[in-house]
Amino acid sequence: MDGSPLTPARWPLIALLASLGLLGAAHAFETFGHLAPCDLCLDQRKIYWAIAWLSIAALVALRVAALSDRVARVAVLLIALAFAAEAALAAYHAGVEWKWWAGPSACTGGGVHHLTVADLKAFAAQTHVKLIRCDEAAWRLFGISMAGYNALLAAGLCILSLIASRLRPPSSLPLRGDRR
User: How far from the centroid of its chain's Cα atoms is residue 94's Cα?
Assistant: 14
Helix count and strand count (H, E) for the chain: 6, 2
pLDDT in tens, 56-114: 988 888 877 666 677 778 888 999 999 999 999 988 888 887 777 776 766 655 555 56
Q: Which structural domains are found in the chain, ordered by start?
A: 11-172 (1.20.1550.10)
d(CA 76, CA 12) in angstroms, rounded, equals 7
d(CA 27, CA 29) in angstroms, rounded, equals 5
pLDDT in tens, 113-133: 566 667 656 666 665 555 666
Q: What is the mean pLDDT of residues 139-144?
A: 67
What pLDDT score was predicted for residue 156?
A: 93
Given a contact cutoff of 8 angstroms between Cβ atoms, the answer to whether 136 and 108 are in contact is no
